[in-house]
Structures are given as C-alpha cells and as structure tokens.
Amino acid sequence: MNKYRDYDNYLKEYPDADGCFGKYGGNYLEDPELIKAFNEYAEAYNTIAQSAQFINELRRIRRDFQGRPTPVYHCQNLSNLLGRTQIYLKREDLNHTGAHKLNHCMGEGLLAKYMGKKKLIAETGAGQHGVALATAAAYFGMECDIYMGEVDIAKQAPNVTRMKMLGANVVPVSFGLKTLKEAVDAAFMAYSKEYKDAIYCIGTAAGPHPFPLMVRDFQFCVGAEARDQFVEMTGHLPDQVIACVGGGSNSIGMFTPFLADPVELVGVEPLGRGEKIGDNAATITYGKEGVMHGFNSIMLADENGDPAPVYSNASGLDYPSVGPEHAMLHDMGRISYVTVGDEEAIEALFLLSRNEGIIPAIESSHALAHAIRIARSGITGSVLVNLSGRGDKDLDFVAEHYGYGPDFLEKRGVKSGR
Ligand SMILES: *Cc1c(COP(=O)(O)O)cnc(C)c1O
C-alpha cells in the first residue's frame, strides 16, 4: 500500500560492501596505487566513523565552529506574492563559509586527523570546494594542496586569494584545457604518490567508493535537522522537498532522511542555455550510463563516449556526471529530476533577494525556481527548499550580466512584489 515503506531499511542496504548503488558506483580506477589508497580509505572510514569519539567531535565542530544547526525559514512574503504554496528554506547559506560544502570537508578533515594524515589534497573548479577544504585544513592544522586549472585561477581571483589567506597551496594545472577535468587528473596523480601522508577530498557525492557514501553521511545532518525543524514549526511533513543537483551532495544530504516519508523529492538540474549537448549540465535528464573519474553512473557523453562539455551559469552545477546514488534513486523512481535554465534561476534569485532579504547562490536559485513554479501553479501545501549557499560569490557576475532585478523581471513579465 505504501511505497515509501520500501525505504525503511534503505540505509542498511545501500551502498553494498563494494560501494555499489545497484549497478552504479563502485571503484573503476585503473592505477593499482590509487585502488590501494581508496581501499585503505574505505576501511578507515568504516571503522573510525562509527566510533563515539569521532561522532562526538564532529558534533562539537558542527555546533561551535560551523554554527549548526542552520535554521529553517518560512518565506511568507514570497509565498504570499506567488499564491497559496508555502515556501520554506533550509538555510545552508548560514553555514560557516556560506554553503553546505563545509559539512563534508570538516568530516573529511576529521577523518584525516584520525588516520594520522598530515595533508589534504583536492581539485577545485570555481574555487568553492577549495575554499571549504582550505578552511578545514586551517582548523585541523594540516597542509593543503588545491589543484586548479590555470584558466580557472585567472577567472576566480577572489577564491584563489581566500585559499591562500587560509594557508593553502594553490597548485596551477597547465596541461590540456587547464580547467576542472585536468585539475582532477592532477590531483589524482598527486594522491597516488602521496597517499601515505595525505588524503584526497572530493567535493561532492561522486567519485570512487567510499566518497558517495561518505559525503552522503556527512551531509545527512542537513536533511535530518530540516525534517525535525519543519515538523516542529508546522506539525507536519512538507509535501515536497527540493534541492539543486550538481554532483549531488547537498541534495542527497537533504533527501535521504525523507526517503521513507510520504514526501515528494525533486532534484533540479541546470538546463543552462538549452537542451543541446554542451548547452546544459542536466546529467540525469539527458545523459546515459557510463564510467568516468573512477565510478559508474549516468553521464553526459560526446559521440566518442568521453565526458561532454557542459555549461550552466552556476559554476557549482556544471559537472558531466552525477553521484551514483542519484542515478539509482532516479531509476527506482523515488526522486524525480526536473530542469531549470539560467534565466529562470536568476529570476528566482532576484525575487528572493527583493522579497525576503536573502541573496542566494545561483546554484541554490535553481532549486528555488522550481518551488516558484509550483507556487505559481496555484496548488496549496508546502515545499521545503535546500538553500545550499549564499550569493556573495555571484554578485559581480549577476549585476554585470542581469542587472539588479527590476528591468530583468519586467522584461520577463514577472510581478516583482517590491
Ligand atoms: C558546489 C555547490 C553546489 C553543487 O554541488 P552539489 O554537490 O550538487 O551539492 C550547490 N550549491 C552551492 C552553493 C555550491 O557551492
């Protein structure tokens, strides 16, 4: 009768011992040194992360350093403007450093400490993951090497400065297209040589086992807090929970605690400029099964089966694959995936800024835009949106390309509220 009951034992069943979510996930790395390193990592995580000492220390970090729990907020102005749907936000923008990414970086840093490692290694594209990891490294007193394409270093000057100020070593990557893909390759290469002293920290719920599992577990607090807070505020569960999907970390953390509840779960992928390959990064919507970066999932491929070029105005969402757990939950039909394009996301950003005094990240604005669609359709009920990050990093880009709101909203025929 109740399909949600199928998920009562979900966390015990997925992933399996090999890190597979059904046919997705696993470890498809070829370098034997890297396979050894990831196996050691998975073993350490399975034992250390169960210890009461580890869990208590992580709880303390979340409360005292990160400022958790972050609140759930009822957007009354925006809800009233749009119709009868009540829109609520989980305020990950108020997490220290301004986004959800620090949740898994602090967990990874703490694990590194318990494993006796001295250095954190990662790649970064726009710099958000690099900044979060550099923050964790400063907290734990560790070295930190962040691999970054030279093209991205030139484009993301403020985040490069932040990483350096936090004491991280930004390593320029100068081969190939000099962007994220090459930065990943360079970071993997460094890790295979340094894994005795260092750990590698992927920035999302993707990559070889144990990352999809580990990042989901470290992000679980987002949904668990939000579920309790929402019930406490309203006396019931939300009708829908919505989150944006890049690699899938903020969304999987938000959704997992609701899997066995009668709640609709919706992941929002970036449609960018449109449906053509190269114009978006809507992996689940337009991709197919394939292996890249050492794990099996759904990916956007070109005609040779290589990762396709991707585009979105939200740099945190433009990844040509997606966490393997999302691929499985999509196939199972438990989570539905929709798309939102560049301009619809910006409309949401302006509406939230003007009507609630909260400037969201462009990534998070994609999730909010779907909630706005629902509200405009006139249905009653409530939706809970994971506001994964704040918009400070996007201000100059938005002002330059889209202005400050009024003209943009008027051109789209949207009632701006104020
Ligand atoms: C990186 C980022 C995302 C996308 O990453 P996921 O792993 O899919 O969560 C979303 N929102 C913000 C604010 C980000 O910085």
Nearest CA to ligand 1 atom 13: 389
Q: Which domains does the chain have, with CATH numbers?
A: 29-63+101-211 (3.40.50.1100), 67-98+219-411 (3.40.50.1100)
Ligand 1 centroid – CA 10 distance (Å): 24
Residue 248 CA: which ligand 1 atom is closest?
8
From 75, 144, 201, 221, active-site residue: 75
Give the span between the Cα atoms of 193 and 113, in whole angstroms: 19
- Output phi, psi for 230, to 5 deg: -65, -45
3-class secondary-structure state, position 141: coil
85 lines ligand 1 (CB under 6 A): no
299 lines ligand 1 (CB under 6 A): no
246 lines ligand 1 (CB under 6 A): yes
Query: 130: closest CA among 96, 166, 179, 103?
Result: 166
317 lines ligand 1 (CB under 6 A): yes
pLDDT, position 155:
87
Ligand 1 centroid – CA 313 distance (Å): 13
Residue 128 CA: which ligand 1 atom is closest?
15
130 lines ligand 1 (CB under 6 A): no
Q: Which value, in Å, is the radius of gyration of the alpha carbons in the chain?
A: 20
Ligand 1 centroid – CA 364 distance (Å): 8
370 in catalytic set: no
pLDDT, position 1:
43
Ligand 1 centroid – CA 32 distance (Å): 31
Nearest CA to ligand 1 atom 7: 249
Nearest CA to ligand 1 atom 5: 246
Residues recorded for the chain: 418
339 lines ligand 1 (CB under 6 A): no
249 lines ligand 1 (CB under 6 A): yes
Residue type, 365: S
250 lines ligand 1 (CB under 6 A): yes
Residue 204 CA: which ligand 1 atom is closest?
7
Residue of 244, 315, 364, 395 to mutate, ligand 1, most atoms within 8 A of C-beta: 244
- The pTM of this model reads 0.97
Contacts by 333-337 with C-beta closer than 8 Å and gap 24+? Answer: 334/7, 334/259, 334/265, 335/255, 335/265, 335/266, 335/267, 336/264, 336/265, 336/266, 336/267, 337/245, 337/266, 337/267, 337/268, 337/269, 337/282, 337/284, 337/285
209 in catalytic set: no
From 20, 96, 100, 201, active-site residue: 100
Considering Cα of 304, then 305, then 307, then 310, what sign does the dihedral take? positive
Q: How far is CA 203 from the centre of its chain?
A: 8
Give the span between the Cα atoms of 207 and 237, in whole angstroms: 32
352 lines ligand 1 (CB under 6 A): no
156 lines ligand 1 (CB under 6 A): no
Contact 111, 199 (CB under 8 A): yes
Block means of pLDDT (10 residues each) for the chain, 418 residues, are: 81 96 97 93 95 98 98 98 98 98 98 97 95 98 97 92 98 92 92 94 95 98 98 98 98 98 98 96 97 95 89 92 98 98 98 98 98 96 98 96 97 94
pLDDT, position 3:
80
The number of CA neighbours under 13 Å toward the Cβ of 314 is: 35
223 lines ligand 1 (CB under 6 A): no
Does an H or E element contain 414, and which? none
Beta bridge partners of 338: 268
pLDDT, position 2:
64
Ligand 1 centroid – CA 316 distance (Å): 5
Contact 22, 331 (CB under 8 A): yes
Contact 20, 325 (CB under 8 A): no
